[in-house]
Structure 1
Amino acid sequence: MKYGDIIKQMTLEEKASLMSGKDFWQTQDIQRLGIPNIFLADGPHGIRKQTAAADHLGLNPSDPATCFPTAATVANSWNVELGERIGELLGEEAVAQKVNVLLGPGVNMKRNPLCGRNFEYFSEDPYLAGKLSAAYIRGIQSKGVSACVKHFAVNNQEEKRMSVDTIVDERTLREIYLTAFEMAVKEGQTQSVMSSYNMLNGTYTNEHIHLLRDILREEWGFDGVVVTDWGGCNDRVAGLIAGNELEMPTTGGETNREIIAAIQSGKLDEAVLDECVDRLLHLIFTTEAVYEKPYKKEIDKEQHHYEAQKAAEESIVLLKNEGKLLPLGKGTKVAVIGDFAADSRYQGAGSSIVNPAKLEHALGALEQSQLTVVGYEPGFERYGKKNAAKLNQACALAQKGDVVLLFLGLDEVTEAEGLDRQNMSIPDNQIQLLHAVAESNPNIVVVLSCGAAVDMPWIGKVKGLLHGYLSGQAGAPAIVRVLTGEVNPSGKLAETYPLRYEDTPSLRHFPGKEVSVEYREGLYIGYRYYDTADVKVQFPFGFGLSYTSFDYSDIEVQEDGVSFTLTNSGTVYGMEVAQLYVGNDKGEVFRPKKELKGFIKVALQPGESKRVSIPFDDKTFRYFNVVTNKWEVEEGTYQIMIGASSADIKLTGQQFVAGTGAPLPYSREQLPSYYSGKANAVSDIEFEQLLGRKPPVSKWDRSRPLGYNDTIEQCQYARGGFARFAYRLITFAHWFLRKTGKRSTANLITMSVYNMPFRGIARMTGGVINMPMLDGLLMIVNGQFFKGLRHFLKERSSMHKHT
């Protein structure tokens, strides 16, 4: 142990006290031993440090900070160096605000386009997400503070996220859902990891021995700190045994007492606690070291704003440019329409929400450009209400412009932590506006602002489509510079855009509505499914247009990588993302048709050529074998593909690879859907074969009493009439708030009440309600009203006597 001398001086009570927070954001300190507290803050794309009223839902304002583009946006840059630079800037701001641990980046996979938190995640591809997350982490930690990669693991839906059991086979778990975390640990050297709320194959992730000990620590060599998501602790002692050191936020000492009692009874070995304390002390002392010498307490806000703009410029994706309408020439008369033009949609909602130090809007940036703005109309109500007057005024304005710049997208309460989207559409009132404007002026360029895939049945009505994603506080001038050609767009999609939601492979099993969610599609998420099953899409993974053109030639495959020549065959400077895909369709082990195994972004002047190399690495040919329980390589001749997207392969080669000789883990006859790749409708029997066991019943048992891990929603089945009445009140309040336009407040009910497990009431109230008091509440819920009330009041009185 690194800090054995200090640990020997600590009492059992002091050691236990370090294992949970002092308050909402800080760890416990022990002044007599010189152990300071450290501050943890949200910050995947900007620091959210709350120095006043604290919350985990983004309700109360935080100190001003630079709001950089979200992870979903920066992923479209495919630029590892850019990711590292953003990390450095985040690290600088963390130091300036005296934040020790920055809670990000998030690397969960985009399994389904409707996940409400997709705007916070990089990609549907683990390799791309892993490379970018490792870059962010290196940048953040270069400033002396810690990153905290999250949410470990398979947290791919927001509904029931605190209780749902994710059922996934081991190979899919390793190849799809853990690879980005593996890269964050091995390549990024992250100092901390946040465990997720959900269960994984029957066990909560924060107490999952296989996940936290076997894989994270023993296989990957992680020696840092595992932090619970806020209120994410189920069984504190089981979590400690698994190696989940820090529980956040505070529980008012309740779980500390559980740890002490477990050691005194022999249930927990004190050596396990010492090991956890040692790792936490290392995080505390190493991240506090930066503050022991003079440090920069102010940042250059204008410089950071400028760099946020540059990041946005490189992440914007041009999706359609019919007749080369873009870029717009000097003096082009533009009619600016859309509420998002005057009031930018630039970030998501929830725990990642940043109070921007400065904020620019597209309308202001357009008025300062060389374009001629003939007028502005909002055109629609931001939150979906229909307004005929606004629509008509927008159509009248559209007639005055050479081009209509139509700013559309999703609003802040549609993409939010804690709830999933209901569909892939942008609001109807925006689509009606688009169709109406098209009758007035066919030269429409849509500027889209949202953090995830949307369907586009309307795309035939527009000539240009520029996707800004959620581009941060400086995204507006970045978009204008791309529209005018001052910047040549170089972003490429880090996720597939299906033609319609019904084409999504996880359609039948998203989200898990009750007990569990089954990942029946296995490896086949995103382009792995669409390309293998030959399903047409709106825009493929890796797609993005440019104002110039690029030629690929002269591929050469060597044992350690592939090289080729890339030429800018157009007339303007540009950057191209070349992508390496690998496949083996002759193998005996099922796998997708192609998988991303490398990429590089290359800048070229007009007419310039460069010889480009992409190396192979330890992930290029591997697969996880469930028989040997380790990574193996299947012998065979692999297709080496260089593409401008997953669907636009420019060059192909081959490479023979010697295998590791592992036994074949599957039977083609028993797993036909997985061998064909058509894994969107896997049968019960076939999924059971893949899992190697029978999955649990996915429905609630409505006959049993409700317990700690049941949700408030389940009160609809409660034995107690009071609980059923309370449930009806909650659902009525939610309906009424949505009906009266207060969708943010309605979302809050979904996030913090409806889907909350009962134990969350104790875990998130900082000790105001403890577990014995919760027992009383559960008695009331289960039909013992007076007995439960007496128990609750007795335990509350007892708690107050001891505090």
Structure 2
Amino acid sequence: MDVRMRAEERLDVARAVAAEAAVLLENDGVLPIAPGARVAVIGAFAKEPRYQGAGSSKINPVSLDCAWDALEASGAACVFAPGYDVATGETSEALLDEAARVAAAADVAVVFVGLPDAWESEGSDRADMKLPAGHDALVERVCAANPDTVAVLQGGSPVELPWRGGPRAILLSYLAGCRGGRATADLLLGRANPSGKLAETWPERLADTPCAGFFPEKGRQALYRESVYTGYRYYDAAGAKVAYPFGHGLSYTTFSYRDLRVEADGEGGFAVSCLVRNEGGMFGKEAVQLYVAPLDPGAFRPPQELKGFAKVALEAGEERRVELPLPRRAFAGYDADAGAWRVEAGVYEVRLATSSRDVRLRARVEVAGSPRRDDGAPDAYRRVRPGGFTDEAFKELYGRPLPKKVVAMRPYTANATVGDLKASLVGRAVHFLLRHELRLFLPDDAAARAQAELAVMDAPLRALAMSGTDMNLVDAVVDIVNYRFVRGFRKLRALKSRSAAKAASPDGSPPASCEDDVVCRGR
């Protein structure tokens, strides 16, 4: 089959994918925007979108659109205000006042906010889950000026939303790619119906996550205290209040579920199906989620786990049976003592849901398997409570002494991070110089400077070679920070000689020999 497409066809696919991936987090009726409404488009991301990841994931798209151009092209009466600096997220009273004036004069205000490139990149972890303060201030000011406000979020991960409850609708576009602008306009104007679902739980605050008290770890070890309780498994087990649960996503229409059937498939599993009906007045798609819940497990397990999903497209008033396979393996849990996956005999509940917190249909099934056994797990892992897991509970679960915390990597290697070098006198000098250079490079942007410093501190020395730096230079630096000054400076001198010889060569080729042949060979 020939799957080749013309460039314009590929862009159409990108537009459709971006529209289907967007998640409508909140909506009390302000979306879709009514025809003829005057729209205030606020936020620099509306014209300069955050549409892809930062770092090595960056690509040059053949074409890039933006929501502002797409809304204008639709014929909507739009007025724009930037609201903040696109690179830093910083704002000013003048920018906020302008945004408020534009919002107050419109029927609907759409404010675009999210995480700038420097705040969310490979090579470093975010220190918090906050948006730039300028973005938060902008949403609050716009909501005060116009109660009919829509917030459009751009970014690749959950963030805290202190203003949640202010906008009448919140649309999460994630990193929507090169046709995210048209896709966002399609969704805002009702030309497309949101059907995306969250692939992660959105906590209200960083403090609500199970690892908030420990991350980032001190030293070079990270203890996975949460064990099997990652993501929604923890929040559901602890009954923790969240901003938006796993699998959440609204639509401009509504769907009803009925007639659940769970039938044995003859291979130890089941065929699960139900009827889904589009009860609203427009075409839409619904992602039906299948969860399995062990009702009285012997070994500790999450209260429920997603085992499948299916997305169904329905016209207004249409009803269709959705089928999902549930193989025997879906009931298995890992037995660490046996080193194998094992199905524990017992009663399980099969649940069809529209999110991990919104179960529509359920049925119980009896599953044959290995005898129920108590795995001796501590109570903290059987009755999970908000707040995460202590070192003491994890140590009891681990069953042996925890690894010794190694704070510094000595002697240093090319795998050491720039931050590791701060344990040495030379490394502290290097760190001081780097911070000095960052202040020169970003003199007026403390937030971006802090993010850049995090990225640099978490980068291993070998990453310099990935950026085109000669690996021999990295080796020389490693020698110097380990106080092997003679060997390190010999390598630096040899590299300098080789570079000079290459520059003097008519064709720019490296010399046949150099002062230190070992260095030239990269050993």
Tell me what 2:16 maps to: 310
Aligned pairs for 1:97-108 (under 5 A) are none
2:197 is paired with a residue whose SS is coil
Closer/same/farther in 2, CA of residues 338 and 787 from structure 1, 3 Å limit: closer
What is the CA-CA distance between 1:766 and the residue it aligns to?
A: 7.1
What is the CA-CA distance between 1:699 and the residue it aligns to?
A: 3.9
2:26 is paired with a residue whose SS is strand
Tell me what 2:376 maps to: 667
What is the CA-CA distance between 1:620 and the residue it aligns to?
A: 1.1
1:724 lines up with 2:428 in the alignment? yes
In structure 2, what is the Cα distance between the partners aligned to 1:366 and 1:497? 29
In structure 2, what is the Cα distance between the partners aligned to 1:533 and 1:402? 42
Structure in which a larger fraction of residues adopt helix: 1
Is contact 1:509–1:520 with CA below 8 Å preserved after alignment?
no
1:369 lines up with 2:102 in the alignment? no
1:741 lines up with 2:441 in the alignment? no
Aligned pairs for 1:355-434 (under 5 A) are 355-373=60-78, 375-382=79-86, 383-434=88-139
Tell me what 1:607 maps to: 317
Closer/same/farther in 2, CA of residues 680 and 619 from structure 1, 3 Å limit: farther
In structure 1, what is the Cα distance between the partners aligned to 2:254 and 2:73? 29
Amino acid at match of 1:316: A
Amino acid at match of 1:318: L
Tell me what 1:475 maps to: 180
Is contact 1:578–1:644 with CA below 8 Å preserved after alignment?
yes
In structure 2, what is the Cα distance between the partners aligned to 1:397 and 1:767? 49
1:597 lines up with 2:300 in the alignment? no
In structure 2, what is the Cα distance between the partners aligned to 1:766 and 1:435? 45
Amino acid at match of 1:691: Y
Closer/same/farther in 2, CA of residues 458 and 767 from structure 1, 3 Å limit: closer
Closer/same/farther in 2, CA of residues 800 and 651 from structure 1, 3 Å limit: closer
Tell me what 1:789 maps to: 489
In structure 2, what is the Cα distance between the partners aligned to 1:593 and 1:507? 22
Closer/same/farther in 2, CA of residues 794 and 734 from structure 1, 3 Å limit: closer
Aligned residues: 497
Tell me what 2:457 maps to: 754
Aligned pairs for 1:138-157 (under 5 A) are none
What is the CA-CA distance between 1:784 and the residue it aligns to?
A: 4.3
In structure 2, what is the Cα distance between the partners aligned to 1:329 and 1:774? 60
Closer/same/farther in 2, CA of residues 570 and 729 from structure 1, 3 Å limit: same
Q: 2:396 aligns with which of 689, 695, 712?
A: 689
In structure 1, what is the Cα distance between the partners aligned to 2:68 and 2:420? 47
Q: Out of 524-533 and 417-426, give the one that drifted further.
A: 417-426
Tell me what 2:518 maps to: 799
Is contact 1:711–1:758 with CA below 8 Å preserved after alignment?
yes
Tell me what 2:417 maps to: 711
What is the CA-CA distance between 1:362 and the residue it aligns to?
A: 0.7
Tell me what 1:495 maps to: 200
Is contact 1:517–1:698 with CA below 8 Å preserved after alignment?
no
Unpaired stretches in structure 1, ≥5 consecutive residues: 1-84, 93-298
Tell me what 2:499 maps to: none
What is the CA-CA distance between 1:775 and the residue it aligns to?
A: 6.0
What is the CA-CA distance between 1:693 and the residue it aligns to?
A: 2.9
Is contact 1:774–1:792 with CA below 8 Å preserved after alignment?
no
1:460 is paired with a residue whose SS is coil
In structure 1, what is the Cα distance between the partners aligned to 2:302 and 2:521? 60
1:413 is paired with a residue whose SS is helix
What is the CA-CA distance between 1:415 and the residue it aligns to?
A: 1.3
Question: Residues 317-343 of structure 1: CA distance to partner in whole angstroms, max 9, x if unpaired?
Answer: 111112x11111211111111111111
Closer/same/farther in 2, CA of residues 485 and 565 from structure 1, 3 Å limit: same
Aligned pairs for 1:632-671 (under 5 A) are 632-661=342-371, 664=373, 666-668=375-377, 671=378
Q: 1:537 aligns with which of 230, 242, 259?
A: 242
In structure 1, what is the Cα distance between the partners aligned to 2:60 and 2:335? 46
In structure 1, what is the Cα distance between the partners aligned to 2:389 and 2:403? 16
Question: Residues 333-382 of structure 1: CA distance to partner in whole angstroms, max 9, x if unpaired?
Answer: 11111111111221110111110101111111111224322x11111222
Aligned pairs for 1:571-582 (under 5 A) are 571-582=281-292
Question: Residues 648-689 of structure 1: CA distance to partner in whole angstroms, max 9, x if unpaired?
Answer: 00011011101134x847204xx1111113374423343233
Amino acid at match of 2:7: K
In structure 1, what is the Cα distance between the partners aligned to 2:447 and 2:144? 32
Is contact 1:482–1:489 with CA below 8 Å preserved after alignment?
yes
Is contact 2:207–2:213 with CA below 8 Å preserved after alignment?
no
Tell me what 1:584 maps to: 294
Is contact 2:295–2:347 with CA below 8 Å preserved after alignment?
no
Is contact 1:326–1:464 with CA below 8 Å preserved after alignment?
yes
Is contact 2:408–2:420 with CA below 8 Å preserved after alignment?
no
Is contact 1:592–1:677 with CA below 8 Å preserved after alignment?
no
Is contact 1:330–1:370 with CA below 8 Å preserved after alignment?
no
1:733 is paired with a residue whose SS is helix
Is contact 1:338–1:377 with CA below 8 Å preserved after alignment?
yes
Is contact 2:292–2:306 with CA below 8 Å preserved after alignment?
yes
Tell me what 2:142 maps to: 437
What is the CA-CA distance between 1:716 and the residue it aligns to?
A: 1.9
Is contact 2:349–2:365 with CA below 8 Å preserved after alignment?
yes
In structure 1, what is the Cα distance between the partners aligned to 2:381 and 2:37? 53
Q: 1:449 aligns with which of 151, 154, 157?
A: 154
Aligned pairs for 1:552-563 (under 5 A) are 552-559=257-264, 560-563=270-273
In structure 1, what is the Cα distance between the partners aligned to 2:301 and 2:389? 16
In structure 2, what is the Cα distance between the partners aligned to 1:757 and 1:482? 42
In structure 2, what is the Cα distance between the partners aligned to 1:339 and 1:716? 38
Amino acid at match of 1:554: D
In structure 2, what is the Cα distance between the partners aligned to 1:445 and 1:591? 39
Closer/same/farther in 2, CA of residues 776 and 403 from structure 1, 3 Å limit: closer
1:686 is paired with a residue whose SS is helix
1:578 is paired with a residue whose SS is strand
Cα RMSD of the aligned pairs, angstroms, is 2.6
Is contact 2:112–2:153 with CA below 8 Å preserved after alignment?
yes
Is contact 2:23–2:197 with CA below 8 Å preserved after alignment?
yes
What is the CA-CA distance between 1:791 and the residue it aligns to?
A: 6.3
What is the CA-CA distance between 1:785 and the residue it aligns to?
A: 2.9
Unpaired stretches in structure 2, ≥5 consecutive residues: 265-269, 496-514
Closer/same/farther in 2, CA of residues 397 and 775 from structure 1, 3 Å limit: closer
1:619 is paired with a residue whose SS is helix
Amino acid at match of 1:798: D
2:213 is paired with a residue whose SS is helix
- TM-score normalised according to structure 1 size: 0.58
Is contact 1:567–1:604 with CA below 8 Å preserved after alignment?
yes
Question: Residues 119-153 of structure 1: CA distance to partner in whole angstroms, max 9, x if unpaired?
Answer: xxxxxxxxxxxxxxxxxxxxxxxxxxxxxxxxxxx
2:95 is paired with a residue whose SS is helix
Question: Residues 738-790 of structure 1: CA distance to partner in whole angstroms, max 9, x if unpaired?
Answer: 44339778756654x533444555x64779334xx766544422334345424
In structure 1, what is the Cα distance between the partners aligned to 2:144 and 2:476? 63
Is contact 1:527–1:541 with CA below 8 Å preserved after alignment?
yes
- TM-score normalised according to structure 2 size: 0.88
Closer/same/farther in 2, CA of residues 352 and 764 from structure 1, 3 Å limit: closer
In structure 1, what is the Cα distance between the partners aligned to 2:187 and 2:391? 49
1:620 lines up with 2:330 in the alignment? yes
In structure 1, what is the Cα distance between the partners aligned to 2:48 and 2:467? 35
